């Protein structure tokens, strides 16, 4: 599924809504964001360690796609790949962005090693490159090595000290038509202040309007840290008020189901099922929303009270989802470490659900 709609990069979670996960999620929903991109690593080191897991889970559970990004330097390519893979898998991210800039110029072998290691270990996760908007001026960056393993190109179209975002977007896209391999472009615009310059609300609106008009499926902004603050509130409002609907839910139904289970939101869970849905467990077969609601009430509030449910692996095949899960931390001492479920959807809702597990 192509990435669609509006997104913002997040640098330091603590600088965004004071680090409040619930406030971040609510503001993202109110702004109509389809995705958020969170810094999860800097070089070979993890980043935003304390709040990233809770934030990713909450955003994904609210239907907002959550990507991670890493600033890379090229001095330790395998170490950088190791931490990126670890964070992507641990956080169960929807996508990953490689942020490579001046530090990586001339390091072609490192870029090749990093990208090969990254791609081979997260084969089903979309990867994007975030770098300079004009490759003609940065010829020593390993463009081919990076883009060869990417699904998207996310150039930074920051019209610093200028006022022509649409023209710069067109120039950026034209230059990347001569860079191999050509990848779908998702532009990143300016929503920050630097050296006394900041974009105007009119320029931000022009950037979004032009990107949408020329058929780009999504646009990002740098950054939530500034636009979400009092100083950048006018930029935030402009982004939030721009209408860019997405055609499909950004988050898979498995993630939404697990989030609602952890939130003990029975009404939300049942809303994911068709009215005549069938749920089969090792003990019983039930049909209909009323019976399924009673099943979840017993499971989540009696059998596994206050437990934390987590998906370990997931396989998607058209409208079928196979996933393994566990449940830990229940106040009655019970747990599940071998859950194996299969979900079949119809028109975006669960029609059939098989759940095999053992509570010990």
What is the distance between the alpha carbons of residues 226 and 290, in angstroms, rounded to a whole number? 46
- Of 241, 276, 298, the last residue of a domain is 241
Indicate if 233 and 293 belong to the same structural domain: no
C-beta neighbour count of 351 within 10 angstroms: 15
- Of 241, 270, 288, the last residue of a domain is 241
Indicate if 212 and 281 belong to the same structural domain: no
Residue 159, in any domain of the structure = yes
Residue 318 sits in a domain whose CATH number is 3.10.450.50
Indicate if 101 and 217 belong to the same structural domain: yes
Residue 9, in any domain of the structure = yes
Q: Is the pLDDT of residue 218 over 90?
A: yes
Q: What is the mean pLDDT of residues 22-32?
A: 96
pLDDT one-digit tens code per residue, 62-94 = 889 999 999 999 999 999 999 999 999 999 899
Residue 248, in any domain of the structure = no
Q: Give the pLDDT of residue 313.
A: 84
Q: Residues in the chain, how many? A: 360
Q: Give the pLDDT of residue 316.
A: 83
Indicate if 206 and 127 belong to the same structural domain: yes
Is the CB of residue 165 less than 8 Å from the CB of residue 200? no
Q: Give the pLDDT of residue 249.
A: 58
pLDDT one-digit tens code per residue, 146-202 = 999 999 999 999 999 999 999 999 999 999 999 999 999 999 999 999 999 999 999
List the one residue out of 5, 41, 1 whose CA is nearest residue 186.
5
Indicate if 115 and 203 belong to the same structural domain: yes
Q: Please, which residues bridge with residue 67 across strands? A: 37, 95
pLDDT one-digit tens code per residue, 241-294 = 999 988 765 678 998 899 999 989 999 899 999 999 999 998 899 999 999 999
What is the distance between the alpha carbons of residues 72 and 74, in angstroms, rounded to a whole number? 6
Residue 247, in any domain of the structure = no
Indicate if 222 and 271 belong to the same structural domain: no
Residue-range definition of the domain harbouring residue 88: 5-241
Q: What is the mean pLDDT of residues 213-231?
A: 97
Residue 24 sits in a domain whose CATH number is 3.20.20.80
User: What average pLDDT does the structure give for the chain?
Assistant: 94
Indicate if 121 and 172 belong to the same structural domain: yes
Residue 246, in any domain of the structure = no
Query: What's the pTM?
Result: 0.77
- Give the percent of the chain with pLDDT over 90: 88
Q: Are strands 65-72 and 285-287 parallel, antiparallel or unpaired?
A: unpaired
Chain-centroid distance of CA 91 in Å reads 10
Q: Give the pLDDT of residue 248.
A: 60
Indicate if 340 and 283 belong to the same structural domain: yes
Residue 221, in any domain of the structure = yes
List the one residue out of 265, 276, 269, 275 whose CA is nearest residue 254.
269
Indicate if 137 and 209 belong to the same structural domain: yes
- Of 241, 262, 287, the last residue of a domain is 241
Give Cβ neighbours of residue 200 (< 8 Å, ≥ 6 apart): 163
Q: How many domains does the chain have?
A: 2
Residue 316, in any domain of the structure = yes
pLDDT one-digit tens code per residue, 116-129 = 999 999 988 999 99
Q: Is the pLDDT of residue 322 over 90?
A: yes
Q: Give the pLDDT of residue 246.
A: 83
Q: Which two tokens stand for residue 123?
A: 């084969």
Q: Give the pLDDT of residue 93.
A: 93
Residue 96, in any domain of the structure = yes
Q: Give the pLDDT of residue 247.
A: 73
3-class SS letters over the chain = CCCCEEEEEECCHHHCHHHCHHHHHHHHHHCCCCEEEEEEEECCEECCCCCHHHHHHHHHHCCCEEEEEEEECCCCHHHHHHHHHHHHHHHCCCEEEEEECHHHCCCHHHHHHHHHHHHHHCCCCCEEEECECCHHHCCCCCHHHHHCCCCEECCECCCCCCCCHHHHHHHHHHHHCCCCCCCCECEEEECCCECCECCCHHHHHHHHHHHHHCCCCEEEEECHHHHCCHHHHHHHHHHHHCCCCCCCCCCCHHHHHHHHHHCCCHHHHHCCEEEEEEEEECCCEEECHHHHHHHHHHHHHHHCCCCEEEEEEEEEECCEEEEEEEEECCCCCCCEEEEEEEEEEECCEEEEEEEECCCC
Indicate if 272 and 230 belong to the same structural domain: no
Chain-centroid distance of CA 295 in Å reads 31
Indicate if 319 and 219 belong to the same structural domain: no
Indicate if 40 and 130 belong to the same structural domain: yes
């Amino acid at each position: 599924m192509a990435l669609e709609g509006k997104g913002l990069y997040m640098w330091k979670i603590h600088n965004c809504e004071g680090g409040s996960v619930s406030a971040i999620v609510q503001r993202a929903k109110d702004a109509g964001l389809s995705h958020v991109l969170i810094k999860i690593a800097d070089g070979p080191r993890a980043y935003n360690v304390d709040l990233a897991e809770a934030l990713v889970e909450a955003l994904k559970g609210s239907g907002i796609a959550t990507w991670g990004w890493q600033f890379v330097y090229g001095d330790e390519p395998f170490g950088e790949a190791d931490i990126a893979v670890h964070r992507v898998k641990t956080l169960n991210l929807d996508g990953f962005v490689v942020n490579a800039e001046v530090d990586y110029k001339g390091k072609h072998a490192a870029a090749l090693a990093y990208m090969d290691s990254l791609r081979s270990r997260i084969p089903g996760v979309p990867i994007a490159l975030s770098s300079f908007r004009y490759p003609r001026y940065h010829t020593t960056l390993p463009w081919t090595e990076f883009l060869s393993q990417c699904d998207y190109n996310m150039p930074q179209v920051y019209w610093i000290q200028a006022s022509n975002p649409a023209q710069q977007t067109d120039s950026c896209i034209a230059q990347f038509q001569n860079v191999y391999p050509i990848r779908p472009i998702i532009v990143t615009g300016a929503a920050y202040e630097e050296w006394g310059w900041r974009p105007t609300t009119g320029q931000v609106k022009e950037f979004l309007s032009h990107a949408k008009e020329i058929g780009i499926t999504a646009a990002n902004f740098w950054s939530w840290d500034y636009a979400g603050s009092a100083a950048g509130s006018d930029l935030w409002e402009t982004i939030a008020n721009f209408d860019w609907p997405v055609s499909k839910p950004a988050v898979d139904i498995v993630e939404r189901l697990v989030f609602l289970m952890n939130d003990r939101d029975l009404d939300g869970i049942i809303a994911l099922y068709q009215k005549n849905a069938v749920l089969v467990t090792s003990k019983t077969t039930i049909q209909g929303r009323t019976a399924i609601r009673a099943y979840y009430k017993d499971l989540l509030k009696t059998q596994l009270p206050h437990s934390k449910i987590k998906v370990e692996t997931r396989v998607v095949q058209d409208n079928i989802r196979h996933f393994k899960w566990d449940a830990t931390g229940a106040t009655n001492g019970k747990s599940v470490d071998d859950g194996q479920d299969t979900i079949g959807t119809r028109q975006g809702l669960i029609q059939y659900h098989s759940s095999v597990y053992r509570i010990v």
